[in-house]
Structure 1
Amino acid sequence: MSGLSSIEQAAVEHVAQAPMLARTEAWTAINSGTRNLAGLATIAEALADNFSALPGHLALVDPAPAESVTSDGRVESIGHGRHLHLAVRPDAPVQMLLTGHMDTVFGADHPFQTGRWLDDGRFNAPGAADMKGGLALMLAALEAVEASPVAAQLGYEVLINSDEETGSFSSRALIEGAARGKVAALTYEPALPDGTLAGARGGTGNFSLVVHGRSAHAGRNPEEGRNALVAAAALAVRLAETKTAGLAVNPARIDGGGPNNVVPDLAILRVNFRPRDEWSIAIAKAALEKAASDVMASHDVRVEVHGSFNRPPKPIDPGAERLFGLVRDAGSDLGIPVAWKDTGGVCDGNNIAACGVPVVDTMGARGGSIHSAEEFLIPESLPERAALSAVTILRIANGAFA
Structure 2
Amino acid sequence: MSAVDLPFDDDAMLAGLRPWIECESPTWDAAAVSRMMDLAARDLSAIGATVETVPGTKGFGTSIRATFPHADQGQPGILVSGHLDTVHPIGTLEKLPFRVQDGKAWGPGIMDMKGGNYVFLEAMRQIARAGLTTPLPVTFLFTPDEEVGTPATRSLIEDAARGQHAVLLPEPASPDGGAVIGRYAIARFNLLTEGRPSHAGWALKDGRSAIAAMARRILEIEAMTTEDCTFSVGVVHAGQWVNCVPSECRAEVLSMAKTQSDLDRGVAALTALQGEENGVDFTITRGVTRPVWEPQPGTMALLDVARGLAAQIGFDLPAGSAGGGSDGNFTGAMGVPTLDSIGVRGRGLHTLDEHIEVASLTERARLAAGLLTQIR
Query: Which category of TM-score, normalised to the shorter sequence, fits these structures?
Result: 0.7 to 0.9
Aligned mates of 1:378, 1:278 — CA distance in 2: 35
How far is 1:49 from its partner? Answer: 0.7
How far is 1:200 from its partner? Answer: 3.4
For 2:273, the equivalent position in structure 1 comes to 291
Give the root-mean-square deviation of aligned CA atoms. Answer: 2.9
Q: Letter of the aligned partner of 2:305 in structure 1? A: L
How far is 1:286 from its partner? Answer: 1.3
Aligned residue among 304, 313, 316 for 1:325: 304
How far is 1:269 from its partner? Answer: 2.9
In the superposition, relative to structure 1, how do residues 345 and 29 fare at CA in structure 2: closer, same or farther (>3 Å)?
same
Q: Letter of the aligned partner of 1:49 in structure 2? A: R
Aligned mates of 2:332, 2:3 — CA distance in 1: 31
1:158 is the counterpart of 2:151: no
In the superposition, relative to structure 1, how do residues 329 and 174 fare at CA in structure 2: closer, same or farther (>3 Å)?
same
How far is 1:47 from its partner? Answer: 0.7
3-state DSSP of counterpart to 1:47 = helix
3-state DSSP of counterpart to 2:137 = strand
**Which moved further from structure 2: 256-265 or 350-359?**
256-265
1:135 is the counterpart of 2:117: yes
Aligned residue among 249, 259, 262 for 2:231: 249
Aligned mates of 1:29, 1:331 — CA distance in 2: 31
Aligned mates of 1:17, 1:52 — CA distance in 2: 22
**Which moved further from structure 2: 304-313 or 344-353?**
304-313
**Which moved further from structure 2: 79-88 or 229-238?**
229-238
How far is 1:309 from its partner? Answer: 4.2
How far is 1:279 from its partner? Answer: 1.1
Aligned residue among 37, 48, 58 for 2:41: 48
**Which moved further from structure 2: 156-165 or 138-147?**
138-147
Aligned mates of 1:41, 1:350 — CA distance in 2: 24
In the superposition, relative to structure 1, how do residues 368 and 217 fare at CA in structure 2: closer, same or farther (>3 Å)?
closer
Aligned mates of 1:153, 1:192 — CA distance in 2: 28
How far is 1:219 from its partner? Answer: 7.9
1:202 is the counterpart of 2:184: yes
For 1:70, the equivalent position in structure 2 comes to none
TM-score w.r.t. structure 1 length? 0.82
In structure 1, the gaps of 5 or more residues are 1-5, 66-78
Answer whether contact 1:211 1:266 (CA < 8 A) is retained. yes
In the superposition, relative to structure 1, how do residues 105 and 222 fare at CA in structure 2: closer, same or farther (>3 Å)?
closer
**Which moved further from structure 2: 28-37 or 88-97?**
88-97
Query: After superposition, what is the alpha-carbon deviation per residue over 1:217-260, rounded to whole angstroms, capped at 9, x for unaligned?
Result: 56877676444334324433443343333111123454334667
Aligned mates of 2:176, 2:271 — CA distance in 1: 43
Q: Letter of the aligned partner of 2:158 in structure 1? A: E
Query: After superposition, what is the alpha-carbon deviation per residue over 1:359-397, rounded to whole angstroms, capped at 9, x for unaligned?
Result: 22112122222222222222222222111111112111x
For 2:20, the equivalent position in structure 1 comes to 27
In the superposition, relative to structure 1, how do residues 357 and 148 fare at CA in structure 2: closer, same or farther (>3 Å)?
farther
Identity of aligned residues (%): 29
3-state DSSP of counterpart to 1:326 = helix
Aligned mates of 1:46, 1:150 — CA distance in 2: 26
Aligned mates of 2:301, 2:134 — CA distance in 1: 24
Q: Letter of the aligned partner of 2:295 in structure 1? A: I
In structure 2, the gaps of 5 or more residues are none
For 1:83, the equivalent position in structure 2 comes to 63
Aligned mates of 1:193, 1:205 — CA distance in 2: 23
Aligned residue among 153, 163, 170 for 1:188: 170
How far is 1:29 from its partner? Answer: 2.0
Mapping 1:379-394, distance limit 5 Å: 379-394=358-373
For 1:3, the equivalent position in structure 2 comes to none
How far is 1:185 from its partner? Answer: 0.8
Query: After superposition, what is the alpha-carbon deviation per residue over 1:184-203, rounded to whole angstroms, capped at 9, x for unaligned?
Result: 11111122576333343322
In the superposition, relative to structure 1, how do residues 261 and 150 fare at CA in structure 2: closer, same or farther (>3 Å)?
closer
In the superposition, relative to structure 1, how do residues 124 and 16 fare at CA in structure 2: closer, same or farther (>3 Å)?
closer
In the superposition, relative to structure 1, how do residues 35 and 217 fare at CA in structure 2: closer, same or farther (>3 Å)?
closer
Aligned mates of 2:175, 2:284 — CA distance in 1: 40
Answer whether contact 1:112 1:126 (CA < 8 A) is retained. no
For 1:352, the equivalent position in structure 2 comes to 331
Query: After superposition, what is the alpha-carbon deviation per residue over 1:33-72, rounded to whole angstroms, capped at 9, x for unaligned?
Result: 223344323322211111013555412212221xxxxxxx
Aligned mates of 1:259, 1:17 — CA distance in 2: 53
Aligned pair count reads 373
Aligned mates of 1:124, 1:244 — CA distance in 2: 34
For 1:99, the equivalent position in structure 2 comes to 81
Aligned mates of 2:96, 2:85 — CA distance in 1: 13
How far is 1:32 from its partner? Answer: 1.8
In the superposition, relative to structure 1, how do residues 18 and 389 fare at CA in structure 2: closer, same or farther (>3 Å)?
farther
Answer whether contact 2:4 2:313 (CA < 8 A) is retained. no
Answer whether contact 1:204 1:274 (CA < 8 A) is retained. yes
How far is 1:337 from its partner? Answer: 1.9
3-state DSSP of counterpart to 1:285 = helix
Mapping 1:196-345, distance limit 5 Å: 196-216=178-198, 225-257=207-239, 262-292=244-274, 295-296=275-276, 298-345=277-324
Answer whether contact 2:123 2:368 (CA < 8 A) is retained. yes
How far is 1:163 from its partner? Answer: 2.1
How far is 1:145 from its partner? Answer: 4.1
Aligned mates of 1:368, 1:105 — CA distance in 2: 15
Mapping 1:353-368, distance limit 5 Å: 353-368=332-347
Q: Letter of the aligned partner of 1:383 in structure 2? A: T
3-state DSSP of counterpart to 2:305 = helix
Answer whether contact 1:32 1:102 (CA < 8 A) is retained. yes
Aligned residue among 11, 32, 54 for 1:61: 54
3-state DSSP of counterpart to 1:52 = helix
